[in-house]
Structure 1
Amino acid sequence: MAKRDRKDQPLAATDVESPVEPKPMPKGLPKDQTELLADTITGRNDLEMIANGNAELRRDGALLKADRMVYNIVEDNVDAQGGVIYRDPGQGSVMTGSEANMVVAARTGYIDNVNYEIRQQQRVTQPNQGPWTFNTPSIGGTGAAATSQQRSTTPGSVPAYGGAASATMTQEPGVSQIAAPATADTAPVDSPNANMTGAEGPVQLPGQAPLAKVIETVSHGQASRIYFEGEGRYKAQDATYTTCPAGDSGWYLRASTYHADYEQNSGSASNSLLYFQNVPFLYTPYAFFPLDRGRHSGFLSPSFGSSQLNGFQAAVPYYFNLAPNYDATFTPMVYGKRGVSLNMDTRYIGNEGKTVAPTFSGRDAFNIMPHDSMTNRNRWSFLTQHQQNFGTYLPGLTGAWDLQGVSDSYYFTDLNNSLAAMSQSYLPRTGRLNYGSSSWNASVVAQGYQTLNFNPSSPVATPYQLLPQVNFSMNRSLLGSAGFNNVRLNDQDELEVIQSSGMFDQPTRLDALVSANNSYFTNQTQGYVQGNRFWAYPQLATSWQSPGVFVTPKFGVHYTQYNTNAGQLTTSGAYNGTSSISSDVASRTLPILSLDTGMVFDRKTEYFGRNLNQTLEPRLYYLYVPYRDQTNLPLFDTGVADVSYAQMFSENMFTGWDRVSNANQVTAAITSRHSMEKTGQQLMSFSLGQRIFFQPQQVNLYANQPTSSYGSNDYFAQASGMVAPYTSLNTYAQVSPYAQANSASNNTTSVNRINRASIGARFQPSRENVLNYTYRYQNQDYIPGGATSGASSSAVMQNDINGAWKIWGPLRAVGRYTYSGVQSSQIESLAGLEYNAACWALRAVYHRAMTYSSTQTPFLNTSFFIQLELKGMGSVGSSPLDVLRRNIPNYTRTSDAAFMAPMTDPYY
């Protein structure tokens, strides 16, 4: 077999002859007809033909060129010699070589001493994040430790669990350019941008249509011989492969044997050596990689890294693409200081009946470390989630479960690198059935939690379990769209609508609203009250409207009844300050009256040369709720609502109905909005409000808590929107009067004090460039709904700056720094560089955060991430992408920006 002239380099731009436009086939030529052209042709038409000089063989769009050809008509075989060029537009392939032998129709044979180029177009998608997407932490990841965060110690205040990113195994090809947009209805099911464990792309039902674009992937290289094994299938010997542009030796793979199947979009190489910048750095006896951005079974790129807590770490995942709507990933992981863990993660989605939309989906994951050498025990975790729509059998009926658990409280802090997962205090164990119709809804819920206490200095209280909870709600219109002036009783004593011309003849409603809930609460902690709580809240609400004016009165009665074991407890139910609970049966009845009114004025204006619509929206909201002593009522699932501008217009300052705040107050507010005149897109909004208390707040969470720190007046302000080109702002502040002691006069002086404030700004001129700044402040004496003297743990004074910015060509800097003024120390810091070339990317990131672990007291844990991404092959190293996405809001990987719609700015 002849040797190539040059086999130490990938294909250069001069190694492949520029494609010559084939001679057009005569119109009306049958599809399977073979055409042979040359300077001279000899032989027999029914047996064999010999073509010399500029010989061309054409069939079904494919073209073979050579100096000399011998075509066997009977066997449909051609032998070509000298200056061989093979082009198959259907497969996007162009090959040059010294000689070839092929069966034309079957597309089998070989070419010797080959330089090849293969162009493949594919629609790649970004999934629409719908109700079938779970947002939960991964089970088992590369080791790190948890951040130090303040966590709730109230059994009724249970934070949501989720938001952690998945494991860091990636497998992605490079993209040379975007060829053309694709319509959603022709998009395939595979996606390149899902942040899933093990492989790219969500599991989807056939026919689902996320957003899509068409991209063109170009691969090329050299081989001593390439075998044609059918349409779109090739085997190369002594070959190189790369997706880098011609002449760019960023990376390439040299293998003894290389298989490529463009029908299945999968490739494999045996006895291969991976080169980066012409330097060999990774040998593998067998390597598998995709030829597109879809999902394929096989080994994924290994992940390597190290951390202060776990030492050297390595993971080698294997991905099972079992079906378009079902997959699994098995990942063995090695921790240098701990041992080996095994992780299995599966996902599925499907439908029943003839529906196109999915009717069920879920995920199951399990991780086990048989022996942790640092703790001398087994470590494990599990997660199972399922969502079901029973609409095929009973329209309106849905169900779901979410069950999670770990072997111990330090599992996430020791073994998972996702800070969002490591800071969780509760793992849910929930099941739900829900039935909904156009006017009413009912549900049954069973819910429990596993409590994680990884910070001994701030223990987490055990939350109550619901066994079970039954919910009901109804909203029914009594008068439809008729105003009161348009309604009368007819002769049959029925309401009917008449015509009149009163001021409030615009569409008006009278609605009956009913909400009810019955819950049975249990708790494993000794001394906690347990039992049943029932509440019902019937309401009548109406609304008079005319252009620019609305008036909405509402009246309701909230009734709550408890049947508990409080009288049987030797501690008299003493927990969280509710020491006065002594009765098994208790109830509370409260009328609630509110009146919400507002007006809207608008005008034309101009800002940054753009024509805008500006509105001015004054609003008055009155709320009356009489005071009831509630210190004899248990506290099951209620906490204090986070004070905000929107909360000024709510009926209750608490998040649950174990407590109902007394109120005799008016909220006066005004909002101004600026919107684009042509499109209606809102650019900015500014709001200012004042809440005036006619009587003080008297209801608190706990019996021994002082009366509220709210003053007679509260002021709220917020602003948000695009205040300038590429610049957004989001600010909030609450100011309240505060009784300040005057030691000289032994009197108190009322002074205004900022209780809470935040300022957030973002400058983002492109997907790749973003800068964020946030300042958060909370007064040390401030506790929503109560007062305290002296400094408290609720004090917050933080500066947070982060961003990603191109500093030179393909080089981008990333970073974050968060500083606490209360603790006079940093909370978290990050710094790194990203270099994004045409066919590879290199990321190096340093990360430091306050953490906890099972073997150490709180300490600043330092982690380093170095990842080399070879586009078209995969990635090597420890991926920092999860850390970057969590630390830098709106962070976008440069290679992903090509699949996103360009950023638009309303000012341009």
Structure 2
Amino acid sequence: MVFRRKFLLVPLSFIVLLISIETIHGSEREEIKIKSIEAETISNDKDGNLILAGNVIINTNLLSFSSSSALLNESEGLLELVGDVEVISDNFQVNSSEMKANLNLQTFLANSTEIYDENSNFGSTEEFVIRTSGDVELINTSVTSCSKEDPAWTISTKSITYLDGPKNVVIRGIKLKLKKIPIFYFPYVRTALSNESMSGFLTPGLNQTRNGVDISMPYYFNLAENYDLVLTPRHISSRGSGLASNFRYLNTKFTGEINVSGLSGDKRYKKETGIDDSRWNASWQNKTVLSKNLYSNIDFQSASDEYFFRDIGNDQFGETRTSYLPRKFSLTWKNPFLKINLGISRYQILNPFSFEEYKSKPNLTIQTYVSRKDLSFSIFANKSKFELDRINPLRSSYEEVDRLFLSPRLTFRKNLPSSTFLFSTGATYIKHNFDSLQESKSSPWVEMKYSVFLDKVNNIQVSSLIPVIKYVFVEDNYKNQTNLIDSRIISLDYSTIFQRGRFVGLDRFSENNKIIVGLERVSSSLDKDSFNSVSLGKAFYLKDRTYYEDSSIIRNSSPLVAEFKTKIRGNIWSKSLVEWDNESKKLNLASFGFSYQKNDHKRIEFRSIYRRQDPNKAYIPWIDKDMKTNHSELVTQWPLSKSINVFARWQKDHESNKSNDILFGFEYSNCCLKWGLMNRKWIEEDYFSWKNNYTSSFQALSEGLDPSIERSRTYVFFELKNIGRFGKEISKALSSTKLE
């Protein structure tokens, strides 16, 4: 359960509503002017006061007053209301038995007051005072978002005092009750009501996790206007106690944030590993502006062990997976024509099943770009040195690699009335030093692309037919391109099929002599939020080439790529992609996504992906790396009635015929609370499973170890609206990144 800042904001919101009409802001306040007076009888006393009786209604420019009777001195602005008093503004309504007000000074005194806001929140206070100084005091106050007659929960306070000078609120004697049972008490809170910060306790946290009860009590230190600190003592029942800190700083030259968290000891981790030591995580993000053109960035993250985020950093559903932590520094100088970057990047690997991650020693990147009318010229150059911590024994790898990459480019672009012509030429030079071995290669290249835009417009629809033809020539006489650092084969779609090669990264380029033909049809409705597009693309090789998935296959064309996108009335969309290989008469890749979302509580989503073979399987140590990928996922959330929602998520691996994740449940909601039940059964990786029988995780995977472990759990979640919750929000429980 997390009692967020809303715990304090619920009682404070009523004060905010009263002062938001600018009745107590000194020089900024708007004068209250009486516009009309109505009553069954109106008379005067000897002092000139108006005596109003029977259905009294007094309308002003800011407020509307009504009561059974009233006494008004217009010259002095004194107003006394008695019997069924009601004060109404655009945002709130106040009911009381009697009220005294000075309209000129804008001060109010009321007893036995009930307050309603525009969000159906209800509050009551025995005494409500707004003084001339602008201070506000509420005595014996209670608030709720439930019904007045039978509230499921209430927050009561002994006193709430708003201090106008420092814009602070002091709250004493805070109690949270479920029905009539007190479940939480806090004696004293002082907090800032405006944007001004002040030191003090923040909202405490009580979380239900797979590690038991997780309690935290943050304290905020307002050290200065431009830097602050939060210290949070924390206790996890099955693990131990620790501390977290968050330090933020801001300057005209630099801005950043430092986070440190950890446990002095971890009982559960000691039982699993035998290691009895402190566990921690630290991060530092910093940006420094040294001059108008020179700046630096730091992104440093580190953890005591590779299982820290699995145990302490993840949430109760086991969703969070952090495979590596970056440690990066960059120094950049740039102007409109030139950019120079000096950088260092390393990574702490947290996933024992991740291999062959190079760390970069200082690398230098230079980019320049100049253009004039239709002609432009650019150069990209990079000099890097890499080190490898863990070598993949199934592939040839080097412990140290020096790499120089250079690519100049000259481009001519001409935009015609209904078409575009693009001509580019350049060269690519790569030099590698592998330990004591040196290799280099260079390749000139040429690209020509012509696109035609055939548009048709009528009163309700715009449609376009866009045929594209492109010629690519890349000369490459160097065939040994197996030692790759950051180059990978990319999947084909309508965008990537027009690229010069199939690789991303700076290590590898492939010989090409091809013509690419594409056709795209796009239509959209002017009066409805609707959209449709169909795209087809295929490359034809002027020189036969081997197939990257099977070197024994010689082919003269690429697979056919087709993309389909549809959007109907803004809340229904679908997207699909097909890669069909005509040579093998097989489907290489297919994906499909569909979504219908009416609102936050009514949605259906379906995603599916099929891949016949992973093009980068050489980097995968799993013994089943040659298996097809065939996954689908269904997510739904649907209201059965105004108060009851059902939700579910299902992920299926069709190749292994296993359900990777099954989640379903229901939620009940009314005006003031939510509660529900959820069951989840899923498969995740067990990071410890290989240690008993293998010398390394790589050996375990390559010899067929399946580190998957099945987990099953039932969750209860409960929320008092506007206060806090015990358990997970449905939107986060249903979210998934596996297929997105």
TM more than 0.5: yes
Instruction: Decide whether the 8 Å contact of 1:708 with 1:785 is kept in 2.
Output: no
AA in 2 matched with 1:690: K
Q: CA deviation at 1:692?
A: 2.3
Deviation at 1:871, TM superposition (A): 3.7
Change (3 A) 1:780 1:68: closer
Shift of residue 275 of structure 1?
3.7
Alignment partner of 2:294 out of 397, 417, 424: 397
Contact 1:781 1:787 in 2 (8 A): no
String of CA shifts for 1:480-508, please: whole Å, max 9, x gaps. 33xxxxxxxxxxxxxxxxxxxxxxxxxxx
**Which is richer in strand?**
2
Q: Could you say if the C-alpha distance between residues 672 and 103 of structure 1 is closer, same or farther in structure 2, counting changes exceeding 3 Å?
A: closer
Distance 2:190 2:266 in 1: 33
Distance 1:882 1:711, change over 3 A: farther
Equivalent residue, structure 2, for 1:379: 279
Aligned pair partner of 2:342 in 432, 444, 455: 444
Partner of 1:415: 312
Is the Cα contact below 8 Å between 1:66 and 1:84 reproduced in 2? yes
CA contact (8 A) 2:492 2:561 kept: no
CA distance in 1, matches of 2:619, 2:220: 53
Give the TM-score of the pair, scaled to structure 2: 0.78
SS in structure 2 of the partner of residue 333 of structure 1: strand
Please give the secondary structure, in 1, of the residue aligned with 2:732.
Answer: helix
1:639 offset after TM fit, Å? 2.1
User: Which residue of structure 2 aligns with residue 187 of structure 1?
Assistant: none
**1: CA distance, partners of 2:305 / 2:284:** 18
| Deviation readout 1:516-568 (Å, 9 max, x if unpaired) | 1111223334773424321211122223442223332222111122345x22x
- Cα distance, 1:101 vs structure 2: 7.1
CA distance change for structure 1 residues 535 and 82 in 2, over 3 Å: closer, same or farther? Answer: closer
Residue 406 of structure 1: CA displacement? 1.0
Of the three residues 404, 429, 435, the one matched with 1:559 is 429
Helix, strand or coil: the match of 2:503?
Answer: coil
User: CA 1:653/1:854 → structure 2, altered by over 3 Å: closer, same or farther?
Assistant: closer
Query: 1:541–1:682: structure 2 CA closer, same or farther, 3 Å change rule?
Result: farther
Q: 2:551 aligns with which of 691, 700, 707?
A: 707
Residue 819 (structure 1) shift? 0.6
Asked if residue 720 in structure 1 is aligned to residue 720 in structure 2, the reply is: no
2:113 maps to: 115
In the TM superposition, what are the counterparts of 1:227-626 in structure 2 within 5 Å? 227-228=129-130, 233-244=135-146, 249-259=151-161, 270-276=172-178, 278-280=179-181, 282-286=183-187, 298-300=201-203, 302-307=205-210, 310-318=211-219, 329-347=230-248, 352=252, 361-375=255-269, 376-389=276-289, 393-394=291-292, 396-418=293-315, 422-454=320-352, 459-477=353-371, 480-481=372-373, 509-525=374-390, 528-564=398-434, 566-567=435-436, 583=437, 585-604=438-457, 611-626=460-475
8 A contact 1:593–1:624 mirrored in 2: yes
Counterparts in 2 of 1:433 and 1:329: CA distance versus 1, 3 Å: same
Residues 871 and 379 (structure 1 numbering): CA distance in 2 closer, same or farther, change over 3 Å?
same
Partner of 2:603: 770
- Which deviations, in whole Å up to 9, do the C-alpha atoms of 1:123-182 show, x marking residues without a partner? xxxxxxxxxxxxxxxxxxxxxxxxxxxxxxxxxxxxxxxxxxxxxxxxxxxx72xxxxxx
Which residue of structure 2 lines up, in the alignment, with residue 213 of structure 1?
none
Task: Tell me: CA distance 1:348–1:850, structure 2 relative to 1, closer, same or farther (3 Å).
Answer: farther
The match for 1:157 is: none
Do the aligned partners of 2:174 and 2:185 also contact (CA within 8 Å) in 1?
yes
**Aligned partner of 1:757 among 584, 587, 590:** 590
**Change beyond 3 A, Cα 1:629–1:400:** same
Structure 2 residue identity aligned to 1:515 = F
Q: Distance in 1 between matches of 2:617 and 2:216?
A: 46
AA of the residue aligned to 1:338: R
Measured in 2, the distance between the counterparts of 1:643 and 1:784 equals 16
Give yes or no for contact 2:79–2:102 (8 Å, CA) kept in 1. Answer: no
Q: Deviation of residue 466 (structure 1)?
A: 2.1
Aligned counterparts of 1:614 and 1:888: Cα–Cα separation in 2: 34
Structure 1 residues 840 and 635: CA distance shift in structure 2, 3 A = same
C-alpha spacing 1:850/1:229, structure 2 compared with 1 (3 Å): farther
Q: Which runs of 5+ in 2 are unaligned?
A: 1-9, 11-29, 270-275, 392-396, 690-706
Partner amino acid, structure 2, of 1:541: T
CA RMSD of aligned residues (A): 4.5
Q: Deviations over 1:421-473 (max 9, x none)?
A: 8433221111122233323322221111111134xxxx322422222121122
Q: Give the residue type in structure 1 aligned to 2:361.
A: L
TM-score (norm 1): 0.64
Cα distance in structure 2, aligned partners of 1:232 and 1:813: 49
Residues 785 and 33 of structure 1: CA distance in aligned 2, closer, same or farther (over 3 Å)? closer
CA change 1:461–1:758 in 2 (3 A) is same
Q: How does 1:623-642 map to 2 (within 5 A)?
A: 623-631=472-480, 634-642=483-491
- Could you report, residue by residue, the CA deviation over 1:248-284 in whole angstroms, capped at 9, with x for unpaired residues? 73432234444567998876654444344x3536231
State the 1:850 CA deviation: 2.1
What's 1:902 paired with?
Answer: none
1:710 deviation in Å?
7.9
* Matching residue of 2:695: none
Please name the residue that 1:861 is paired with: 711
Point out where structure 1 has 5 or more consecutive residues left out of the alignment.
1-9, 11-29, 120-174, 177-217, 353-358, 482-508, 568-582, 738-749, 892-908
CA shift, 1:405, in A, is 1.1
Does the C-alpha gap of structure 1 residues 632 and 525 become closer, same or farther in structure 2, counting only changes over 3 Å?
Answer: same
Provide the rounded CA distance (Å) in 1 between the counterparts of 2:262 and 2:61: 55
Shift of 1:715: 0.9
CA contact (8 A) 1:621 1:649 kept: yes
Q: CA deviation at 1:719?
A: 0.8
Change (3 A) 1:781 1:660: closer
Matches within 5 A, 1:146-185: 176=119
Cα 1:855–1:675 change in 2 (3 A) is same
Contact 2:547–2:555 under 8 Å retained in 1: no
Q: Give me the whole-angstrom Cα distance separating, in 1, the residues matched to 2:150 and 2:127.
A: 23
Contact 2:345 2:361 in 1 (8 A): yes
* In structure 2, C-alpha distance between the alignment counterparts of 1:110 and 1:774, rounded to whole Å: 61
Equivalent position of 1:903 in the other structure:
none
Select between 845-854 and 254-263 the one with higher mean Cα deviation.
254-263
Distance in 2 (CA, whole Å) between partners of 1:550 and 1:785 is 40
Measure, in 2, the Cα distance between the counterparts of 1:103 and 1:612: 62
Query: Does structure 1 retain, via aligned residues, the 8 Å contact 2:247–2:258?
Result: yes
* 2:694 alignment partner in structure 1: none
**Alpha carbons of structure 1 residues 51 and 558: separation in structure 2 relative to 1, 3 Å:** same
- CA pair 429-321 structure 1, distance change in 2 beyond 3 A: same
Identity %: 17
Question: 2:103 matched to 1:221?
Answer: no
* Residues 595-642 of structure 1: CA deviation (Å, up to 9, x unaligned): 22222223347xxxx822221111122222233335377433222223
Tell me, in whole angstroms, the C-alpha distance in 1 between the residues paired with 2:601 and 2:539. Answer: 43
Paired with 1:525 and 1:327, the residues of 2 have a C-alpha distance of 40
Tell me the amino acid that sits aligned with residue 551 of structure 2.
Answer: T
Please say if 1:83 is aligned against 2:65: no
SS of 1:801's partner is strand
Q: CA–CA distance in 2 between the matches of 1:785 and 1:621?
A: 31
**What CA distance in whole angstroms lies between the structure 2 residues aligned with 1:435 and 1:815?**
50
Contact 2:169 2:193 in 1 (8 A): no
Instruction: Give yes or no for contact 1:630–1:699 (8 Å, CA) kept in 2.
Output: no
> Aligned equivalents of 1:295 and 1:839: distance in 2?
30
Instruction: Select which of 668, 675, 680 maps to 2:517.
Output: 668
Alpha carbons of 1:623 and 1:888: their partners in 2 closer, same or farther (altered >3 Å)?
Answer: closer
Letter in 1 for 2:187: Y
